[in-house]
Structures are given as C-alpha cells and as structure tokens.
Amino acid sequence: MNSKKGLAPVVVVIIALIIVAAIGGYFIVKGGNSGAATTTHNAPEVANPPTPAANNNPNPTTITPAPTPPPTIPSGPNVKTFQMTAKQWGFTPSTITVKQGDLVKISITSLDVSHGISIPDYNIDREISQGNTVIFQFIADKKGTFPFKCSVLCGAGHSGMKGQLIVE
Ligand SMILES: [Cu+2]
C-alpha cells in the first residue's frame, strides 16, 4: 500500500520531466540548427580575397617605349662622284671641277683598249685594263688646275689623251 501511494507522484513527476525535456529538446535542436546556419552563411562571405586585379595594373605601365636617338647628320666632306670613260684618245668628261676639301670618287671605264689615268699633283696613277672599270677616290685638298693624262701607251693618239682637274 505504501509503495502504491508513493509511486503515483513520482510517475507524475517523471512524465512532467519527460514533457519538459521533449519541449526543451525541441527548442534546443531548433535553436542549434538556426545558430549553425547563420555561422555557415557568414563564413564564405568573409573569405573572398579580391587580390588578382592588382596584378594586371603593373604590366601595362612597365612597357616603356624605346627611346629613339636623334638623327645624326654626318659632318664629313662633301662627296663628288664622277662616271668617266676612256677610249682612243680621250677622257669623257675631260674636265672635272670640285671644291677644295671635297671627297672625289671617280669610276672610270675603258671602252676599248687598256688606258691609264695619271694625276701627278695628287700622286694618282691607275691603269684601266681593256673593258674594265676602276674606282678610286681622294680628298681634293689643294686648290688649282691640275692636268691628268693617259699613262698607258694606247696607240697613235696616246700623247694627246689629256684632261684637267679643277679644284676651286
Ligand atoms: Cu694612252
């Protein structure tokens, strides 16, 4: 008898605890899920490092155009070029006129037999073999009129095969 009277309130208390535990567990589980959901939503938003855009800027700015040097004007002597021919018995042209200090370039071609061109005052004596072309150059550093002549015996008119170099 004593045990039955004592059991009834204990059972009621146990049932009440179970109900409280069930309700409390429901709210604990619900609150736990909501709390976990908010933390997982916040975490990926924070972890966004937007750094790759910074690497694109230095590349275009580091391309520097190569400096173009200013054009240099050569300050050497003026060049005077002459195309001459030699044939029995004369030079064409037979008179060459330049300025003092000019660099004189002469290309002379023999149109028939072998000839020569000698300018003694400029220590020049070149042979032009038959049908060939000889190119030579010198600085006209002396003013005056300087005769030149054929220096290879080339026939009956050889002694009259002459010209002149005029340096003004
Ligand atoms: Cu000659």
Sign of CA pseudo-dihedral 149, 150, 151, 154: negative
Q: How far away, in angstroms, is 26 Cα from ligand 1 center?
A: 131
User: What is the CA(144)–ligand 1 centre distance, in A?
Assistant: 24
- pLDDT tens digits for range 80-92: 999 999 999 999 9
Structural domain boundaries enclosing 19: 1-29
Residue 48 lies in a domain: no
Q: Is residue 63 part of a domain?
A: no
The pair of structure tokens assigned to 143 is 């003013």
22 with 92, same domain: the answer is: no
Is 15 in the same domain as 83? no
Q: What is the tens place of the pLDDT at every residue in 139-149?
A: 999 999 999 99
Tell me how far the alpha carbon of residue 66 lies from the centroid of ligand 1, in angstroms.
Answer: 58
Residue 67: the pLDDT is: 73
Which residues on adjacent β-strands are paired with residue 116?
127
Q: Is residue 97 part of a domain?
A: yes
Query: Is residue 159 situated within a structural domain?
Result: yes
Residue 11 lies in a domain: yes
**Rounded to an integer, what distance in angstroms lies between the CA atom of residue 32 and that of residue 38?**
10
Same-domain check for residues 84 and 146:
yes
- Give the count of domains, the chain: 2
Nearest Cα to 31, choosing from 41, 39, 43, 20? 39
Q: How many CB atoms lie within 10 A of CB 129?
A: 13
| pTM for this entry | 0.56
Report CA(132)–ligand 1 centroid distance (Å): 15
165 has which bridge partners? Answer: 96, 146
* Contact of 135 with 109, CB cutoff 8 Å: no
Predicted pLDDT at 76 = 77
Residue 62 lies in a domain: no
CA 126 to ligand 1 centroid distance, Å:
12
Strand ranges for 7-130 from DSSP E:
79-87, 90-92, 95-98, 103-110, 115-119, 124-128
* CATH number of the domain that residue 86 is part of: 2.60.40.420
Q: Is residue 107 included in any domain, yes or no?
A: yes
Who surrounds ion ligand 1 at CB < 5 A?
150, 154, 158, 161
